[in-house]
Chain A
Amino acid sequence: MKTVFHFAKLVIIPVAMLAFVVLQSMQSTATDSELPAAEVRIDNFTFGPETLTVPVDSTVTWLNRDDVPHTVASTDGVFRSKALDTDDKYSYTFTKAGTYEYFCSIHPKMVGKIIVQANSQHGR
């Protein structure tokens, strides 16, 4: 029994280390190539999700699925779409970490937030 246990440790730890290395490289590969698309869906006078958290260098795409036009306007003037009719899209790439509050300049009660997190390549 003891022998088996020790043997298991000998096998499991290297396997785990191998897995760790593989995962790390997958992560690196991910940061080098295109990040998964981040989407905000506009419908029924709402940005969904209202708060979206993404890593830095992400491109966020807003898609208007409502039956009236909306805009996407950052409160700090960092980005601003033209009027988006139904099925129109607007994309912005966030190259700096931070919190970006925005609203619809046509219907200002509609508000949203993008939280852009600094990317740490060496693990946390």
Chain B
Amino acid sequence: MANEKLTATNPSGFIEHDHNHDEIDRRGFLKCMAWAGTGAVCLVQGGVLKSFALRSHGSHTKVGASGLSFVQISDSHMGFNKPANPDVIGTLKAAVDKINALPQKPEFLLHTGDITHLSKPEEFDNVDQILKATGKEIFCVPGEHDVLNADGASFRARYARQSPGHGWHSFDHSGVHFIGLVNVMNLKAGGLGNLGQAQLEWLAKDVKHRKHSTPIVVFAHIPLWSVYPQWGWGTDDSAQALSYLKKFGSVTVLNGHVHQTMQKVEGNVTFHTAFSTAFPQSAPGSAEGPGPMKVPAEQLRHVLGISDVNFVQGRHALALTDSPLADM
């Protein structure tokens, strides 16, 4: 099957319809086109797009018994209080409202790190408290802001007690294999994100005997592809990690750290970075540095958001929909 990708720069490239299952109505398709310009991307790879989150209101959407729906949130930076967003609590609560309003209820949440801004206990507590309102289990990996104290001990004590090393772990859900990687520890001067030998060896073992048809979702904070190395937006040893995943027919890599949505497809691997729920950052190279980007107050909720991810059994690709907080 042809690998087509629909991106913000190629909004007219398409997407085969699937007439055997639920229809994608024209309004949904056109909405997808409109969203492609604002950062939401509809994606098909090796198969057919199923993006139930695009369904227009009122219609009954079903992933089906053998499907899966979950949400990626990222970079909540609890504790941040500078002009780029003086109310990260408010915007995180808006993300929760959005999650609770999704037509296709997610099974769980993935948080791709920078949960807190300064690794303080009260910051972790605040996020836990706010996300409780979704009623969903949360799987997370740390960002560099989450491991500022005692070598990340407080993060691990909260979220990764059973995990080896710095908190990498894997789990299965609805036939999909999820792998949480930690690439924010032991960073070297002048370097990028780093997975390290121990984690790479664990990863190799973890996937060695899995069937090639198992859909894989990897989640880690810093991008596992080279988004913009000058700003530290990449991981030094990700190529080795990805080499262990070559045999799988469908691999989705979910990252955070860059506070904007980006997508890249390479063979069977789809890379995706998420909105932050706290503050945006500039497009690569468009500012002096990768710090918080100030936007007019009324625009803020258009550049913060969540990602709704849907997987349908038998389809290669996961359908990823980035959704700004302003779209309710």
Chain A residues engaging chain B, CB cutoff 8 angstroms: 44-46, 66-69, 71, 73, 75, 82-83, 85-86, 101-103, 105-109, 111
Contacts and interface: CB of A to CB of B under 8 A. Distances in A.
Given A68-B291, A83-B148, A103 B189 contact: yes
B187 A83 contact: no
A107 B187 CA distance: 8
A108 B192 contact: yes
B118 A69 contact: yes
A44 B191 CA distance: 18
B327 interface: no
A102 to B, nearest CB: 7
B145 A69 contact: yes
A34 to B, nearest CB: 31
Contacts, number: 61
B291 A66 contact: yes
Contacts of B84: 67
B189 to A, nearest CB: 4
B118 A111 contact: no
B230 A109 contact: yes
Interface in B215-230: 229-230
B58 interface: no
Which 3 A-B residue pairings sit nearest by Cβ, starting from the closest? A103-B189, A45-B289, A83-B148
Interface residues of B, number: 25
A102 B291 contact: no
A45 B187 contact: no
A67 B289 contact: no
Nearest to A107: B232
Contacts of A45: 231, 288-291
Given A109-B190, A111-B190, 4 more contacts: A46-B289, A67-B291, A82-B149, A107-B290
A44 B118 contact: no
A71 to B, nearest CB: 8
A71 B144 CA distance: 11
A69 B117 contact: yes
Contacts of B145: 69, 106
Nearest to A74: B189
A86 B82 contact: yes
Contacts of A66: 291
B21 interface: no
Contacts of B188: 108
Given A67-B82, A101-B189, A102-B189, A83 B289 contact: no
Nearest to A66: B291
Contacts of A46: 289
A45 B83 CA distance: 17
Interface string B140-153: 00001100110000
Contacts of A71: 148
B292 interface: yes
Nearest to B144: A106
Contacts of B230: 109
Contact of B189 (A44, A69, A75, A82): A75
Contact of A107 (B118, B144, B292): B144
Which of B118, B119, B190, B230 has the most chain A CB atoms closer than 10 A to its own CB?
A: B190
Contacts of B192: 108-109
Contacts of A111: 189-190
Given A83-B118, A83-B148, A109 B231 contact: yes
A106 B82 CA distance: 19
A38 to B, nearest CB: 21
B302 to A, nearest CB: 21
B292 A68 contact: yes
16 contacts: A45-B288, A45-B289, A45-B291, A66-B291, A67-B82, A67-B83, A67-B84, A67-B292, A71-B148, A75-B189, A82-B148, A82-B149, A83-B149, A102-B189, A107-B290, A108-B192
